[in-house]
Amino acid sequence: MKLNELRDNPGARGPRKRLGRGIGSGLGKTSGKGHKGAKARAGGVKPPYFEGGQMPLYRRLPKRGFTNIFRPDYVVVNLDRLQQAVDAGRIDAAQLVDAAAMMAAGLVSDPKDGIRLLGRGSLTTGLTIEVVGASASAVQAVEKAGGKVNVIGGAVAASE
């Protein structure tokens, strides 16, 4: 194939529509827009949520609550994922397990406002874990396995 042989696919480009050029063209007079009304005029069509002047649904329904933009965004790590990382050799049980160690092990990619430890699964290795928050069941499971949880800046939750 040569550059001078390049062509569009058949039917990819058609002639432009010449609107309003007499009835013989098939697109004369109203140019395919029907008779009168807002849709026939320039400026287009009303948005799909427009209800003809009636109070629209999104304004009839009550608004509730708000989004607190200052709420901390914690990353959750469960005990079963920690144990998998220890079994795979990505976490050294003798070292302190903090946010940096969890990032290196691939448990979290971005610690955001801190890591929160939750108690799903079980832990068989004694680890010293440093996190911003931990559930009571997670702390209990870590201590049962012979480890320790250091909560920095936060508090241990009463229940999960």
Structure tokens at 126: 């004694």
Element (H, E) at 60: helix 57-60
What's residue 15's pLDDT?
92
What's residue 156's pLDDT?
62
Mean pLDDT for the chain overall? 91
Residue type, 50: F
All residues at 6 or more sequence positions from 99 whose CB lies less than 8 Å from its CB, including other chains:
108, 111, 114, 115, 130, 131
Domains of the chain and any CATH numbers = 19-65 (no CATH), 75-151 (3.100.10.10)
What's residue 75's pLDDT?
95
Q: HSE of 90 in the Cβ direction (CA atoms, 13 Å)?
A: 15
Region 109-127: what's the mean pLDDT?
93
What's residue 43's pLDDT?
84
What's residue 20's pLDDT?
92
All residues at 6 or more sequence positions from 74 whose CB lies less than 8 Å from its CB, including other chains:
112, 113, 114, 115, 116, 132, 133
Region 76-99: what's the mean pLDDT?
94
Residues in the chain: 160
**Rounded-to-integer distance, Cα 30 and Cα 79, Å:** 70
CB 108 within 8 A of CB 131: no
- For the cut 70, the answer to whether the pLDDT of residue 14 exceeds it is yes
Summarize pLDDT for 16-42 with one digit per residue, the tens. 999 999 999 999 999 989 998 888 888
The predicted model scores a pTM of: 0.59
pLDDT band at residue 160 under the 50/70/90 scheme: very low
